[in-house]
Structure 1
Amino acid sequence: MTYTARHRMLAGTAAGLLAASLGVAVSATATAAPRTATASACTISTLPYPADTYRAEANAIDPSGRFVAGAALRVGESDNQYLLLVWDGQQVTAIETANGLDPVDVNESGVVIGNGWAENGVGRPWVYRNGQFELLPVLTSAGTFVSAINKAGDIVGYGYDIAAGEYVALLWPAARPGTVEVVNAPANALPTGITANGTIVGYAGLFGDETGWLRRPTGRVKPLAVPGGGSTIVNAAAGHWAIGQVWLGGSSPAKVRWDLRDGSYTTLDSELGLDDVNTKGVVVGGDRVGRGSTSQVLPGGGVRINIGARSISDTGAIVGFRNADRVTPVRWTGC
């Protein structure tokens, strides 16, 4: 569940595709911030990728650490050729796609979901499974986007309801293939994560006045907040953990991790990005990995070298990108 496609996912996806076409990296890395020492056991390695591509990156890793999904660009005869990359261990498969694509999640069965664009410029989600691309069913909308998939294959996302003039939370249930459902959630809801037991998290409301929420598998919806907090954005969830940011006053929001069992929360290191969390509560984002209330810098960065951690498995493996003279997909282990 990558943070590149959170609130304002419409804009975020478009920005990612534009950056890809220009050959630059999109990252929340803060290279000028003070850094803590990296752990000696923490190492970075480059994932294999097609030699004829000029940029490639890894976007998501499944909880078991086996499957990784990413994207690459190849220079074509008349235009850029977009490639979906799927790694099974160290073996990579490159799949040519007709339009720009943004893979956002992959589950333990190697099912990849992502967002793309229809010919009319409207956002259209897709799924890649059993070696085949499929467009997911959508409702009448000005754009539909997916954000997460769980072990069972349930997919969550959102669409813009033109008649109501607001976003609606959507579920593509694995038990009912080929269907999409509107799920009960607050008005203008954007789901950002779904756990293995079917708990959905997200946030809702107008820009600058968002509220966090969670929806249990029973259908019960509860707030996900911080006492006394203001605008709340929930970024991702795994197991009984969720991460996000809450305005508590001051010049920037506080970064927090919620325990979904009782709604309690802890404050995270302000330098830590909020791209993903695993079932152990370990958080990754930007150039850092965080446990508890502290974080450490991941290796591989440096002067004019940007790194970005996008996703973490339950085994602790982390994937993302490194941008030195070119953007390449990388994996961190032992961090």
Structure 2
Amino acid sequence: MTRTARRRILGGVAAGLLATSLGLAVSGTATAATAGPVGACTISPLPYPADTYRADANAVDPTGRFVAGSALRVSDSGNQPLLLVWDRDQLTTVESPTDGDVVDVNAYGVVVGNGWVNGIGQPWRYRDGRFEQLPVVPSDGIFVTAINKAGDIVGHGSNSATGEYFALRWPAARPGTVEVLDAPAGAAPVAITANGTIVGNAGEWGSWSAWVRRPGGRIEALGAPGARTTVAVAAAGHWAVGQADLGGEGGPVDVRWDLRDGSYTALDPWLEWVTDVNNKGVVVGGDRVVRGATSRVLPGGGDRVTIGARSISDTGTIVGFRNGDRVTPVRWTGC
């Protein structure tokens, strides 16, 4: 699913509103209060190249089969970015032609991400063993944020004159094309579900509002009564997650929207931030997984060891990182 270590809308919008897991982690000692024992929930390392000094798992596909991540290898000429793709436990390591982010992977193992060409954001796709740059429109930079099972990709660009975002889609049915979507002013999609529903954010800095675009093109707000701002982070099935600033003393709260009717519920306050949701409405973020109204701590953290859940599949597989003496990719199951 859409993820997270990636140049998505949260890289800009949520910098001032959300503490996401883009390079951050929750302290293992900061979440001592827990709903109970983890039970059968287990953590296991994902294999990664031994000659890298950091590696991370950024996204898992809805089936749980494919995981996509990144690593850095030191070479004589500097850091060499690597794309890591796990097919179950079989790792493929590919030298990345651009220094950027791994964003998402779909059920066919197609990976999308963002890089840079001459200082301008340039999205890419990795499939059938090769990288390819995605077509772009004139912009200060183009960034992808998600891909669905059909291969439809969404992202955003920015107007070179005004700096305002605009929504983009790369339709799988029309290879080699990109289209500017009819969407609210300043729109930036963050997710696209299996049926083509798109969720995103719009508006000026500090005045953001979340929205959903139905497959037929109808656009609706994702709000909350009395909310000053709402920000969507991820979506799957008929669920979307993000934050709503309700004006309380505690600041914005994590919420889960039901896309069928636009209703929302607040998530367990022990969840410090939210990064992903699956089609069953199970939410992950930081070192926690949320089912229904309660959350539980994922195993693997501890004294001077941090963990971060970045993405969850529809089967419940969670991927992310563990940072003890260095950042390494991990997978949680049975949680």
Q: Structure 2 length normalisation: TM-score?
A: 0.93
Per the alignment, do residues 95 and 201 of structure 1 end up closer, same or farther by CA in structure 2, a change over 3 Å counting? same
Q: Give secondary structure in 1 for the equivalent of 2:125.
A: strand
- Residues 167 and 182 of structure 2 are in contact (CA less than 8 Å); yes or no, is this contact kept in structure 1? yes
1:85-234 superposed matches below 5 A: 85-118=84-117, 120-234=118-232
Give CA-to-partner distance per residue, 1:44-100, whole Å, 9 cap, x none: 000011111111110000000000000011110120111000000000000002331
1:34 and 1:168 map into 2 onto residues whose CA distance is 42
SS in 2 for 1:126: strand
> Are residues 1:2 and 2:9 paired?
no
Contact 1:28-1:285 within 8 A present in 2 as well: no
Residue 34 of structure 1: how far off its partner (Å):
3.7
Aligned equivalents of 1:90, 1:164: Cα separation in 2 = 46
Q: Distance in 2 between matches of 1:174 and 1:26?
A: 31
Aligned to 1:52: 51
Cα separation, 2, equivalents of 1:6 and 1:229: 23
Give the match's secondary structure for 1:309. Answer: strand
Say if 2:331 is the partner of 1:334.
no
Q: Is the CA contact (8 Å cut-off) linking 1:85 and 1:92 kept in structure 2?
A: yes
Structure 1, residues 300-320: CA drift from partner, whole Å, max 9, x if none? 000110100000001100000
Displacement of 1:140: 0.7
Secondary structure at the residue paired with 1:54?
strand
- 8 Å contact from structure 1 (residues 234, 244) kept in 2: yes
Partner of 1:17: none
SS in 2 for 1:175: coil
Pairwise mapping of residues 13-24 of structure 1 onto structure 2 (< 5 A)? none
Match status 1:27 vs 2:28: no
Deviations 1:210-237 (A, max 9, x none): 0111001101111111122111100000
Q: State how many pairs are aligned.
A: 323
Structure 2 equivalent of residue 290 of structure 1: 290
Q: CA deviation at 1:10?
A: 5.6
Give the superposition deviation at 1:165.
Answer: 3.6
CA distance in 2, matches of 1:254, 1:10: 19
**For residues 218 and 23 of structure 2, what CA distance do their matches in structure 1 show?**
36
SS at match of 2:26: coil
What residue in structure 1 maps to residue 237 of structure 2? 239
Once residues 26 and 239 of structure 1 are traced to their aligned partners in structure 2, the CA distance between those partners, rounded to angstroms, is 27
Question: Who is 2:247 aligned against?
Answer: 249
Q: Shift in Å at residue 162 of structure 1?
A: 1.5
CA RMSD of aligned residues (A): 1.6
With CA pairs under 8 Å and 6+ residues apart, which has the higher RCO, 1 or 2?
2
> Which amino acid is 2:112 matched to?
I
**Partners of 2:146 and 2:134 in 1: CA distance:** 13
- For 1:43, the equivalent position in structure 2 comes to 42
Change (3 A) 1:84 1:325: same
* 1:10 to 1:129, Cα distance in 2 relative to 1, 3 A: farther
CA distance in 2, matches of 1:85, 1:241: 28
CA contact (8 A) 2:8 2:144 kept: no
In 1, Cα distance between equivalents of 2:10 and 2:205:
9
Change (3 A) 1:27 1:38: farther
Distance of 2:323 and 2:10 partners within structure 1: 25
Distance 1:12-1:81 versus aligned 2 partners, 3 A rule: farther
Letter in 1 for 2:160: I
Task: Please give the TM-score of this superposition, normalised by the length of structure 1.
Answer: 0.93
1:324 counterpart = 2:324 = yes
Whether the aligned pair in 1 keeps the contact of 2:9 and 2:189 (CA below 8 Å) is no
Q: Are 2:4 and 2:58, in contact at CA under 8 Å, matched by a contact in 1?
A: no
**Residue identity in the other structure for 2:181:** V
Q: Decide which moves more: 267-276 or 2-11.
A: 2-11
CA distance in 1, matches of 2:33, 2:8: 26
**Between the two proteins, what is the percent identity of the paired residues?**
64
Consecutive unaligned residues of structure 1, counting only runs of 5 or more, are 14-24
Question: C-alpha separation between the residues in 1 aligned to 2:248 and 2:235?
Answer: 26
Structure 1 residues 214, 314: CA separation in 2 closer, same or farther (over 3 Å shift)? same
Q: Does the CA-based 8 Å contact 2:306-2:322 persist in structure 1?
A: yes
Counterpart amino acid of 1:148? A
Deviations 1:127-149 (A, max 9, x none): 00011100001111101101010
